[in-house]
Structure 1
């Protein structure tokens, strides 16, 4: 396991807070208050550890299969339905959405290999990520990948109530490789995929999936 580069600032800040808070406590409080000192030491140590844990990248054997559309993130499948797209596409698409809790690995990965034909950031609200309007109203970043078979997949990173920063590494004109990093969302969120309507779905609602490993669907 290693730590993601996006965690550098947050982890450094949490370490500084941990050192500052506990240094002040042990310097300013009398020794007779040692129970309080050690209780706060334990709580701040747990909080700092959780921040480090959030930015983990576990060791995995990632999949690569041109016939499959892989999960873009770790989490639980919360939506599988036909929708009228609000962006890029004009015809109905099949939406599969994966919700990430703060305990999930938050690295986002490319679901397919393809040319990046669209990339757009949208500022917005921070509704809870499972809210039905979060796909339309929340802060989000949308990219569209064009597979070599001519089909296109839209991936939308959506911020949640706690998520305050979306990072996307793709650029229009570039080539995204399946299972390589698409981006990162800090502290809880979700990713929507919009697929061709005739795509064959391999998961069901409530399934837990892993980015770059679990096949959400396959081409017809």
Structure 2
């Protein structure tokens, strides 16, 4: 029977990023869809409730937390521990390229080979990398829409995305990407935690994963 030892993998800032990023995404998806298509309707006088204003305020506050979380993850790409840095998981070397394709085959049930890695595997790392890039686009379009009177955000947004309506469309499409990403992410981490005793889920709480002890 294999024996395992605990290894400290995820620092406190990465775990704070995760537990800020995750609930802010959920909140932004729900409130964003309400802003796009309010699903409450009544013939009663409702000015004292002002539901849309409340939803917009929650959306803006969650957006600020989302932005802070993304900035923290960008910082960790270059200044985090060795498992958190971007070059540990991107397919930019032979080891990671091999791991990317072997992980794809493993997730597709086309091979039984599983490479144990303390940090992100190359497939997950690549997905997270592009998700953070899209998150940057999402918060820039959000600030462009939120501050139409601000010269900096207007000039930045217009140069990158065009009109506000075009930026709004990008913002809306990315909302659906993050909804899809959240569902796939939850499925994959539960699937991994069931199949492998590495402590993937618990590691995002205490920072520790389990590695097979060399005999």
Give the TM-score normalised by the residue count of structure 1: 0.29
More helix by share: 2
Give the TM-score normalised by the residue count of structure 2: 0.30
More strand by share: 1
